[in-house]
Structure 1
Amino acid sequence: MIRVLHLPDSIEKRNGRMSVVMSIYRKLDRSKIQFDFACTDYGFENFEDEIKELGGNVYKIPSNENSFKNIKSMVNDLLRTGRYSFLHYHALSKWGCTLGMANKYHVKTIVHSHATELSDTLFKSIRNRIFSLNIFNNGDKLVAVSPEAGKKLFIFKKYTYIPNMINYKKYAFNKNNRLNIREKYGIEENDVLIGNVGRLSIQKNQEYAIKCLKHIKQSNFKLMFVGDADNNQQIKKIKDLVLSLGLDSKVIFTGMVTDVERYYSAFDIFWLPSLYEGMPTVGIEAQANGLYVLVSEAVSKNLDITGNVRFLEIKEDNIENWANLTESLVKTVKSHDVSAITKIENSEFNSKKVIEQWKKLYEV
């Protein structure tokens, strides 16, 4: 059996990287390939129970103890057991300091780029670039979720493009889900609901979405944020903006939910004004549901699988264009695209194709 030690930094359910890895893990023949995870425990809801049910192990370091010394010690102890064939590194973080250890134990390293920017601040970007320097000497295989993500991290090095995969049928439009979710949150039949799914964070740029909502002229538009915040300060900042613009009756915060697939059916259109992304799984999920997606130009053009994606600039002077295009699409698009699932099945995001690429990565 091939055993892989993954270094995703976090195994949180709200983490896009982990959603991708878990989608693959569930579909692999686990009698041939097994995953273990070494990670930082940040205290949020995570996939640990499911990983163990699937036959994997989770090794955690508390967030207040994740020093370079402790990380190196843990990974060294794991690699020296001889159980692992591959060390698979996903997030630019302190965990990258362990890549150089793999060769000592005859373990191959895989470096996976998931984002088109190194971070959302200059300081963190510089720090993460430093964290990434050793991948050029210690990465046996380089992988990216999109061409943009590959070029950003690997620069001049050759890499393999493997698109993200989701269980897209799980996100298909469901009329009962639409009625139930809208009733739960008091969304009237004639209300137009704009959806946004993901962490409330600087990267996801929810403040821009709120400003765009303010510019929508029709009174029956509402905006729903599905997800929790990186910290209390971030959620307060976003909610303060809602209040200052007088939108408190039009913006809904659901917090973290465990049945996010049901929420897409309640939406009429999907917004993704992120400052950067690699290949956002929520954008694929929204398309699988048949929704039109308005997305930042910072996101990979490969996201448009169904022909229902529109890319827009996220500059302050383009806010009105987001509002106008949203109103225009809602007028012309009368229902969810029922052919969306078929379009995804016929694309490079097809589950079987992506699984075969991952198996090839592990030389199975």
Structure 2
Amino acid sequence: MQTAAHYVVTGRALLGEDLREEDVTITVSEGIISSIEPSSRPAERWIVPAFFNAHTHLGDTVAMDLPARGSLADLVKPPNGLKHRILAATPRTELVRGMRASIIAMLATGTTGFADFREGGADGVAALREAAAGLDCRPIILGREGGEEVSDGAGISSVHDVANAEETVTNARAAGKLVAFHAGEKNPDDVDDALAFEPDLLVHCTHATDAQLRRIVDMDIPIAVCPRSNWLLGVTASAAHPPIARILELGGRFYFGTDNVMFVQPDLPREMAFSATIFRAPPEEILRAAISGARMAGRSGYLEVGQKAHFLVINPAKSNLSFSKDIRSTIVKRLDSSSICQTVLTMQ
């Protein structure tokens, strides 16, 4: 991990939001990309934007792969779903240790930022901040049950699961904070009610109708899709859900999230590879979805002059990646931690 004060690296980079391939030298000064200059040197490294995980529940780490059966509501619906009972019974020290371990796992696979729906009120928010302390990663924390007041915003379950959604949103807006809703995970019934609050982010929209998707796109609301979680939890078995292809057809925006660590490892390279196989979206769209969630943290996420440095340096010679004929496709389908030789990021 390289915290960016001054740093210079040469290689084949994926530049800008169009992720165009160019051989360049990138200079970082005081944590900001100060120049990107053409290079004639042979490119021995790849330089790519770091990833941003747009939806996690890291507290669930303490219930990882617990043998459990039941409906989605039985497992994760607040306030009495299985995960909530486990969280309530877990000592704080163990909860913090689990979340910290998952943050370290994300950093190892190229994720330098994430947005977490944090259970447990203000104490839950404080526990996640403690878990992230000293690590090269600042979480966007979307609190619940009073945690909204001391975090970056409100991470609301389905609008049908909470009694005070209007008050929660009003307070968050008054404080200039983010508002995010789960919606459309198992059916479309809660999507319209969530849209009535004009959220900054919708999570899942697995079964949003075409009319709802059009509204979402018209309102320019990004969707954090969680394909592996949706498939594992049985809310989809189709390449049409989540509707990645339709979102792209309509000109909408989607980010990738990995959802509950209880069920799915918070590993965006795995999320990209799975999605490339099932949904067959163009590699550049899949890669953008793993990067663009950085907008939630107030940055573009891309390699551009003037942007904060958040990028990966990859050594393709450490594996068979050096035979790649399309870097974007190879990163989406084949990248793992073994090929990442440096993570460069700005922490301020």
TM-score between both structures, scaled by the size of structure 1: 0.30
Kindly name which structure, 1 or 2, has the bigger radius of gyration based on alpha carbons: 1
Length-normalised TM-score, structure 2: 0.31
- The structure with more helix, counted as a fraction of residues: 1
